[in-house]
């Protein structure tokens, strides 16, 4: 997904979290705010990357069931993971890192950093064993590992967008590799046009939507490529059946919530997402595009 060029304000970008990150700002000291947003991405990457050994996520994954103190933002992220896993009936699963690594997903997409997990680590279908204490001490079960993945990017976009509004921006669009959050002040009505790109041709848009506030996220079944093979990230079909869609986009109030529900949207076309007030678009293996009636409201 990508927003159209700005006619006012500024857009700045950098490669962070393994993806192209863009921060677009209207109002206030636009250049300083955009840079501040990108610095926040870098700070959150230091906390949540599975490729940085000192990150909170890596320390938790090495802890072998022992309690670990983590940053408050990491506590909030893990809280979102638990909520997303529960709400999506397990379709979003933050414990699939051992499976990804078994399929060769060990190296960062932008540098030579690598990640590994303990030899006995495996995916879990029940994450209720995660314990979060009020003093930011987190314990994850022995042999469990966590990966921030797309939900981490969506939540990061939420934190950054809200922060920049509090710092004087009138309208912002934070795009972290396709996880997009738009925020604004109450008296601002600027709409951000956003292209939803084709899963088979990154130069072609499936459609263009317009967001004044809220978020949109897209997940592909081949989100990361290793030796020409697609690796399915954080997507688990609860009944073990094949995933029928190759891409799904969800519009929601926050980036974390939108990202979580894309995982559910990929493996079912039931109406649960729509019943929650979310808008969804799906693309199947033949390239056929379908969307909910609520999606129609955002089309340009």
Give the E-state strand segments of 27-130 in sequence order: 68-69
Distance of CA 18 to the CA centre of its chain: 12
pLDDT above 90 (res 145)? yes
- Of 213, 89, 207, 71, nearest to 152 by C-alpha is 71
Q: Please give the Cα distance from 235 to 231 (Å, whole number).
A: 10
pLDDT above 70 (res 224)? no
Q: Please give the Cα distance from 272 to 268 (Å, whole number).
A: 9
Q: Please give the Cα distance from 107 to 109 (Å, whole number).
A: 6
| Contact assessment for residue 296 and residue 252, using Cβ atoms and an 8 Å cutoff | no
pLDDT at residue 2, rounded to an integer: 57
pTM (predicted TM-score): 0.92
pLDDT above 80 (res 242)? no
Q: Which residues contact 239 (CB under 8 A, 6 or more apart)?
A: none
pLDDT above 80 (res 265)? yes
Which 8-state DSSP code applies to residue 282?
Answer: E
Three-state DSSP at 187 gives coil
| Residues found in the chain | 300
Give burial (CB, 10 Å; 0-12/13-18/19+) of 173: buried
Look at 38 and 224; give whichever has higher pLDDT. 38
Q: Please give the Cα distance from 205 to 189 (Å, whole number).
A: 25
Q: How many CB atoms lie within 10 A of CB 77?
A: 25
Q: pLDDT tens across 286-298, in order?
A: 999 999 999 999 9
pLDDT at residue 1, rounded to an integer: 66
Maximum pairwise Cα distance, the chain: 54
Q: Please give the Cα distance from 293 to 108 (Å, whole number).
A: 38
| Contact assessment for residue 273 and residue 89, using Cβ atoms and an 8 Å cutoff | no
Which 8-state DSSP code applies to residue 143?
Answer: T
Average pLDDT over residues 231-256: 76
| Contact assessment for residue 267 and residue 233, using Cβ atoms and an 8 Å cutoff | no
- Of 152, 190, 202, nearest to 45 by C-alpha is 152
Q: pLDDT tens across 1-49, in order?
A: 655 555 579 999 999 999 999 999 999 999 999 999 999 999 999 999 9
Q: Please give the Cα distance from 212 to 149 (Å, whole number).
A: 26
- Containing H/E element for 293? helix 293-296
Q: pLDDT tens across 61-87, in order?
A: 999 999 999 999 999 999 999 999 999
Percentage of the chain exceeding pLDDT 70: 91
- If you average pLDDT over every residue of the chain, what do you get? 91
């Amino acid at each position: 997904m990508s927003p159209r060029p700005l006619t006012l304000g500024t857009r700045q970008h950098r490669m962070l979290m393994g993806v192209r990150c863009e921060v677009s700002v209207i109002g206030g000291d636009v250049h300083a705010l955009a840079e501040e947003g990108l610095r926040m991405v870098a700070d959150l990457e230091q906390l949540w990357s599975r490729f940085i050994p000192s990150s909170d996520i890596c320390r938790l994954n090495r802890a072998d069931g022992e309690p670990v103190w983590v940053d408050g933002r990491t506590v909030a992220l893990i809280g979102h993971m638990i909520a997303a896993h529960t709400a999506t009936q397990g379709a979003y699963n933050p414990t699939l890192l051992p499976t990804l690594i078994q399929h060769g997903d060990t190296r960062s997409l932008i540098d030579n950093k690598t990640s590994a997990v303990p030899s006995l680590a495996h995916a879990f279908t029940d994450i209720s064993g995660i314990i979060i204490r009020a003093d930011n001490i987190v314990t994850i079960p022995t042999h469990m590992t966590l990966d921030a993945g797309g939900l981490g990017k969506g939540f990061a976009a939420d934190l950054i967008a809200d922060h920049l509004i509090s710092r004087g921006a009138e309208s912002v669009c934070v795009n972290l590799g396709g996880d997009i959050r738009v925020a604004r002040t109450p008296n601002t009505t600027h709409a951000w046009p956003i292209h939803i790109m084709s899963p088979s041709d990154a130069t072609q848009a499936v459609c263009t939507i317009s967001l004044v506030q809220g978020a949109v996220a897209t997940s592909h079944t081949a989100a990361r490529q290793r030796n020409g093979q697609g690796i399915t990230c954080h997507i688990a079909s609860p009944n073990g059946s094949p995933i029928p869609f190759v891409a799904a986009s969800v519009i929601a109030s926050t980036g974390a919530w939108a990202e979580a529900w894309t995982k559910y949207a990929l493996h079912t076309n039931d109406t649960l997402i729509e019943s929650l007030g979310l808008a969804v678009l799906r693309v199947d293996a033949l390239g056929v595009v379908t969307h909910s009636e609520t999606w129609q409201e955002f089309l340009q």
